Amino acid sequence: MNASWDILKTLSDPTRLRLLALLLREELSVAELQEILGMAQSRISSQLALLRQADLVSDRREGKKAFYSLRPILPPRTLSLIRSAVEAVADLGVMGEDRDSLDRILLKRRKVSEQYFNLIAGRLGKNYCPGRSWESIGHLALHLVPAITVADLGAGEGLLSQLLARRAEQVWCIDNSPRMVEVGTELAQKNGLANLVYKLGDIEEVPLPDKSVDLAILSQALHHAQHPQRAVDEAFRILRPGGQVLILDLNEHSFEKARELYADVWLGFKENALHGFLKKSGFTKVEVTAVAKESREPHFETLLASGVKSGR
């Protein structure tokens, strides 16, 4: 039977179409889909299973949670059918309610992270933080050159940037916690670092112009991103040709409590995942190396990834 005909039959069910409309916008857990749609888990799971069998969605597990998203690579005709079907019912009241509920879910996600970092602002350098060690920071520092413009994305209080600003021409610290920006700005003023500027913003939507920095750093920030690929894409966008990105982050681990203790969204990343993020964004000369491993349990290991933005 014609594949497009099969897709149309799959799209004929209202629940499946509502699910696809949501997954077109965001990867969501089964629990989040329950909250948005107001349906029982069994009903949602059965419809997701049919969509997975039809190769329209994919799933992944994070601990006890199952997350679903639209398959990353769909045939253009299939994706066009899905988008057309969703657009055809976009004006229905239930679809508008779904969009509003999704917005609330995404806002709730952001607030969880923001509340955590607002709480620890001013104490971050004194408290234990997975992957934050002078050993790993030292490896990153070896890649630095003076008299450049630097963007520290997800900077927190800017521990690293406070050091870089003593040699760099300009350092921008980007963080989504108002309290972190406030504390960092006070530290910069206290230390007389006029070239160190803090800006409130998201690493997935960096408030800096295209091609405006020479070095972009994501130090223990990527595992807090809802969409790591978008964060890496933003680093590529703001870099000048010839500029470099450096990423310090945790190797993939299974310490589930990190979500609660440190507001981690991702339990680290495999080396090939970091490599894939950089290559997909367009970076060349991509390298990923393990640079530190903690001696105490759960033995967090830190990876250093780098890439260069080629071109003119």
pLDDT at 167 over 90: no
Residue 129 within any structural domain of the chain: no
Residue 77 within any structural domain of the chain: yes
Residue 76 within any structural domain of the chain: yes
Residue 9 within any structural domain of the chain: yes
For residue 115, the model assigns a pLDDT of 74
In this prediction, residue 144 has a pLDDT band, given cuts at 50, 70 and 90, of: low
- Residue range 17-23: mean pLDDT, rounded: 95
Query: Do residues 169 and 259 share a domain?
Result: yes
223-271, pLDDT tens digit by residue?
999 999 999 999 999 999 999 999 999 999 999 999 989 899 999 999 9
179-188, pLDDT tens digit by residue?
999 999 999 9
pLDDT at 289 over 80: yes
Residue 128 within any structural domain of the chain: no
Query: Do residues 200 and 235 share a domain?
Result: yes
CATH code for the domain of 42: 1.10.10.10
- Tally of structural domains, the chain: 2
Query: Do residues 94 and 144 share a domain?
Result: no
- Residue range 158-178: mean pLDDT, rounded: 88
The token pair that represents 92 in the structure block: 């229905």
Task: Choose one of 120, 148, 164: the last residue of a domain.
Answer: 120
The token pair that represents 76 in the structure block: 């253009």
- Residue range 115-135: mean pLDDT, rounded: 64
For residue 142, the model assigns a pLDDT of 40
Higher pLDDT, 73 or 17: 17
Query: Do residues 50 and 173 share a domain?
Result: no
Query: Do residues 141 and 112 share a domain?
Result: no
Query: Do residues 188 and 271 share a domain?
Result: yes
Higher pLDDT, 131 or 7: 7
Query: Do residues 138 and 233 share a domain?
Result: yes
Task: Choose one of 120, 147, 170: the last residue of a domain.
Answer: 120
For residue 134, the model assigns a pLDDT of 58
Query: Do residues 142 and 232 share a domain?
Result: yes
Contact 69, 48 (CB under 8 A): no
Contact 114, 267 (CB under 8 A): no
Query: Do residues 155 and 285 share a domain?
Result: yes
70-85, pLDDT tens digit by residue?
998 888 889 999 999 9
Task: Choose one of 120, 145, 176: the last residue of a domain.
Answer: 120
Q: What per-residue string of b and e applies to 196-213 under the rule 16 or more CB within 10 Å gives b?
A: bbbbebbbbebebeeebb
Q: Among the ranges 61-65, 69-73, 308-312, which has the highest mean pLDDT value?
A: 69-73
- Residue range 77-94: mean pLDDT, rounded: 92
Query: Do residues 286 and 184 share a domain?
Result: yes
Higher pLDDT, 8 or 51: 51
For residue 300, the model assigns a pLDDT of 95
Query: Do residues 169 and 68 share a domain?
Result: no
Residue 165 within any structural domain of the chain: yes
Q: SS3 for 120-166, per residue?
A: HCCCCCCCCCCCCCHHHHHHHHCCCCCCCEEEEECCCCCHHHHHHCC
**Whole-structure pTM value:** 0.68
CATH code for the domain of 147: 3.40.50.150
> Domain range holding 83?
3-120
Query: Do residues 296 and 221 share a domain?
Result: yes
